[in-house]
A and B are shown apart, each in its own frame.
Chain A
Amino acid sequence: MTHGTRSASDWRAAATFIGPALVALALVAVLPTVWAIVSSLFDWHFHRPHLRTFVWFDNYRRLFGDSRFLNAAWITFIYTSVSVMATMVLGTMLALLTKAPFPGKSVVRALLTIPMIMTPVVSTLVWKTFFFEADVGLVNWLLSLVGVDGPAWVARSPSALFTILVVNIWFMTPFVYLVMDAALDGFPQEVLDAAHIDGANYWQRVHHVILPMLRATIVFTVIFRITIDARMFEIIHVMTGGGPARDTEVLTLWVYNAALRNFHLGYGNAGGVVLMVAVGLLCFAIMLVGLRGIYQRTGTS
């Protein structure tokens, strides 16, 4: 391993195999990110580039006094936390429910993944047009069967937020289900059987045996889910457009409006940088707390 020639050839091989991918990512990912951060320090309107001025952190200072931005941050927080929690619970429950064999299991597994692979724009249009429609939508028809007069879901608050949450939860539960299902498949059956013989009932087994074994998977899935929901755009853009008023305007939509509708590039990007940093810090914290103790015990791999 420590032979000079070996490591030199490994370096050359690394440049051949890994180099092109890294160059590509540098161009399409690193360059725009750096550009976004630098531009956030400028007062910069897309159509008035000659008036561009360096303003240090003024954009950030403005953000935290901007009620529309703070509202978007709050909506993003609510949207992400409700959706992540709901999908984690529902997806894990589904995986546990489908663990024991039953007829048609592989077909059921395939069908349960459909929401995740359907084009989100299409799914949202279907939910909006056919299910949440006020007069002839499925949801209000079902409600009318039990004598409830359903609201104009998408056009009113707080039901508008509810509709985008429902679509997001429906869309992302299969992801959690697939990951948990695969993780459960990897468990040795003996562990579960041993707990069974000890007289533990089902919930005790889930709580004391299965969930602790799933911990690392749960932590990584939560992180992955947060990053997806915190940047969700299409479901909200198509369903409500951020409305009514700005009651469903999440940060991604705020940046889109500020930078690409109103063309305040510097100010909009400052909001995007805040979102990126907040999500990064949150995920890092969750990883530190969630994985504490796991890798010390088993040794780092």
Chain B
Amino acid sequence: MSPLGRRRALEALRLVVIALAVVIAVLPLAWVVLASFKGPADVSQMPPRLLFTPTLDNYNRVLDAGFFAFFRNSVVITVAAVALSVALGVPAAYGFSRLRVRGARGLLLFVLAVRFVPYIVFAVPLFVIMVRLGLVGTHVGLTVVYILVNLPLVVWLMKSFFDDVPTDIDDAAAVDGANRVQSFAYIVLPSALAGVACVTILSFIFTWNEYLLALVLSGRAAQTLPVVLTRFLGGMEDPVRWGLLSASSVVVLAPVVLVTLLVHRYVRAGFGGRPS
């Protein structure tokens, strides 16, 4: 084969492999979305039916099953937890980025270390402590505990965003008579809003999806969507339940998938990528 032909063949192979990777990545999502619109007769057919009469029955039954109360639990807990972690973490990140204090490096590593501890180590003591405080099964309990999941992420990512803001503008603000708090609130923070968007979105995804802490601490009254979903595990031999499972899965996935696809550049920025 000529060198040109060989290069073209390699390029074609590259694109085929990429396409295959995309198919594998997207297949579970595509499958469950399709299944959620299928009736019991279509949902368990092999080979898979791509042409079928779509139905909203599954979604209606999800509504009847009282799913909305759990959706509300997830929304309330996630919004409150993300707000709390961003409110605590963004000023802390500014402090770690700008203030010269002895021991700051050690404290920063401590914050990161929290992210690396197996969550089950936290979950057992938190369960016992929260039973005593009467916080198991409350929105407040889970909201506060999700500081564990989000705060290290917010502090570390926001610090790198603040580090990218030139310190010249702090100096200029100081010359103009701004104190630290004013300099942070009016000068530096507005220059790092992309970072705030990034940490907010990533915290939202991690909190919405979290399972172990929710399973242990949400009791009956504060169950979030991932915990409720596993209830549909029983009786899975019945295709009717497959439809129910699919529709409720789509309801759980919709917020995170939509957010990720709409503002993908912020998600990417969280992993060191420059906005594209």
Contacts and interface: CB of A to CB of B under 8 A. Distances in A.
Interface stretch (A16-24, A62-70, A81-89, A289-297): A16-24
Interface in A252-274: 252, 255-256, 259-260, 265, 268-269, 272-273
B46 A21 contact: no
B99 A10 contact: yes
Greatest chain A CB density within 10 A among B25, B127, B180 is at: B25
A249 interface: no
B24 A170 contact: yes
A113 B257 CA distance: 10
A225 B232 CA distance: 30
A242 interface: no
A29 B271 CA distance: 24
Interface residues of A, number: 91
Interface stretch (B13-21, B50-58, B61-69, B192-200): B13-21
A182 B107 CA distance: 27
B267 A117 contact: yes
A129 B245 contact: yes
A250 to B, nearest CB: 10
B59 interface: no
Contacts of B31: 126, 130-131, 138
B121 A138 contact: no
Interface string A1-29: 10000010111011011101110110111
Interface residues on B, range: 35 or more
A97 B18 contact: yes
B63 to A, nearest CB: 18
A21 B91 contact: yes
B96 interface: yes
Contacts of B233: 125, 238
A231 B257 contact: no
B26 interface: yes
Contacts of B46: 136-138, 141
Nearest to A11: B101
Interface of B: 14-15, 17-18, 21-22, 24-26, 28-29, 31-32, 35, 44-48, 88-89, 91-92, 94-96, 99-101, 104, 107, 110-111, 114-129, 144-145, 147-148, 151-152, 155, 180-181, 184, 205, 208-209, 211-212, 215-216, 225-226, 229-230, 232-233, 236, 242, 245, 249, 252-253, 256-257, 260-261, 264, 267-268, 271-274, 276
Given A9-B180, A28-B148, 17 more contacts: A14-B99, A18-B95, A18-B99, A22-B92, A32-B121, A35-B125, A35-B128, A109-B276, A117-B256, A118-B257, A121-B226, A121-B229, A122-B229, A122-B253, A234-B211, A255-B120, A273-B121
Interface of A: 1, 7, 9-11, 13-14, 16-18, 20-22, 24-25, 27-29, 31-33, 35-36, 39, 46, 94, 97-98, 100, 102, 106, 108-115, 117-123, 125-127, 129-131, 136-138, 141, 170, 174-175, 178-179, 181-183, 185-186, 223-224, 227, 230-231, 233-234, 237-238, 251-252, 255-256, 259-260, 265, 268-269, 272-273, 275-276, 279-280, 283
